[in-house]
Amino acid sequence: MIDSFLAAARPGIAKLLAKAVLGKDLSETEVVELLSAKDSDLLAVLCAANYSLQDTVGAVVTYVVNRNINFTNVCVKHCGFCAFSRSYRSEEGYYLPIEAIVGRAKEAFRFGATEVCIQAGLPPDLQGDFYIHLCRAIKEATPELSIHAFSPEEILYGSKQSGMTIKEYLQELKDAGLGSLPGTSAEILDDDVRSIISPGRISTSQWVEVISTAHQLGIPTTSTMMYGHVETEHHQARHLLLIRDLQRRTGGFTEFVPLSFVHTEAPMYKHQLVEGVRPGATGTEVLKIHAVARLVLNHDIPNIQASWVKNGIQLAQACLMAGANDLGGTLINESISTAAGARFGQWMRPAELRRAIREAGRIPAERSTSYKVRQRFEAKEDDGNKAGALDRLSDSEAERFGSFSQMIHSSEFRFREKSYSRPVPG
């Protein structure tokens, strides 16, 4: 079977694919060559990734029932790719107080969520222990809910605001109930690229420090890469190899999530603030990135997620045949990609994710944050027998969740500069 798809490729590519399928390490130059593949070479790359996926993970494709809570869009940083953030002076700036965040977590749990994913802007004068109080409040209200929260950028900000070291801060968060960190704010882990698209943002070495410290403390994280803007194949390759090598040192990554740049409302594209910025990745690039990620990371990080929010469900389906084995979460309140112009909705019912998985010829399974399978849906009949509360929710009833547009235009949670500077009740 291996020979059948290698035969279509040029000898040099076929040799690299055979090496990757056998689990041997690829160099930066070799990864770049795979990322540059076209035509029959690209088809061979996709087939090799699918073969490696089946060999390592099998036919099961997972998803998680979760809710995103982006509790404020006010941020002291001004990243070129971010259309979500607002200045504290903006009339579109909002924040959710702790009781509102907890209320959303409790509602998510009632609808069957096992995870709440919390990320937000970096508001000025944030109390250093705010994130700690927030974790404690959520855990007290919903002890069964997994708290997957705070990007490395937020961890760095919180530790500076509190005067703690990163290690001390992460330990406090873990003690308060934090279960895992999203490995976002990675973009491309190359400081030359970062200085173009997000000057002043967390550096590559700081990102690595936060992530490796979390792993050291037993806090698992995801890993991500945002591509399709100004980076080259060399940047992508170095990013993948950095993630691979960091996993070998620390062992704490649960998944790798390629994130295609959403350009429509991103300032650096919309206002042409960055020379040469591209309008996101092509469909071919999306498939290629997932496939090469599988070939590079297969034995170190077996879970590769395809983002339906960034790519749409049809392209995410195609990624399931190009190395991906996870479709992410139901999300319920997705704001960051939506703000940037993503057109694929802010949430998805579990039944829709299961249908997409079945249509791709795979077996759907609901997972936990840590990728433990909670339930498999072997037969199509299981979809009806095991349907949850989110599946039974009508479109009109789902309007209760609100949207990013409603949030930024509502006066209910309008941001005021001093809202975060007062002591937070403990």
CA distances from 67 to 102, 111, 281, 367 (A): 12, 10, 26, 14
pLDDT digits (tens, 9 = 90+) for 13-38: 999 999 999 999 999 999 999 999 99
> Listing from the earlier edge strand, what are the strands of the sheet with 146-149?
66-69, 115-118, 146-149, 178-180
CATH number of 59-420: 3.20.20.70
- Give the integer Cα–Cα distance in Å for 114 and 70: 17
| Tokens of residue 97, six digits | 């107080």
Task: Catalogue the E-assigned strands of 168-318.
Answer: 178-180, 221-227, 253-260
- What's the gap between Cα 162 and its chain centre? 26
| Tokens of residue 240, six digits | 């993948």
> Is the whole-model pTM more than 0.75?
yes
Q: What per-residue confidence (pLDDT) applies to 2?
A: 65
Q: What per-residue confidence (pLDDT) applies to 390?
A: 80
Give residue limits of the domains in the chain: 2-46, 59-420
CA distances from 185 to 14, 257, 389 (A): 35, 12, 32
Residue with tokens 């222990």: 129
Q: What per-residue confidence (pLDDT) applies to 80?
A: 84
Run of H or E including 131: helix 130-141
- Give the integer Cα–Cα distance in Å for 200 and 202: 7
Residue with tokens 């974790």: 135
Asked whether the CA dihedral 240, 152, 307, 363 is positive or negative, the reply is: positive
What distance, in Å, lies between the first and last C-alpha atoms of the chain?
Answer: 60
Sites in the chain below the pLDDT cut of 50? 418, 420-426
Q: What per-residue confidence (pLDDT) applies to 375?
A: 94
Q: What per-residue confidence (pLDDT) applies to 148?
A: 98
| Tokens of residue 361, six digits | 């010829």
Residue with tokens 């990102």: 207
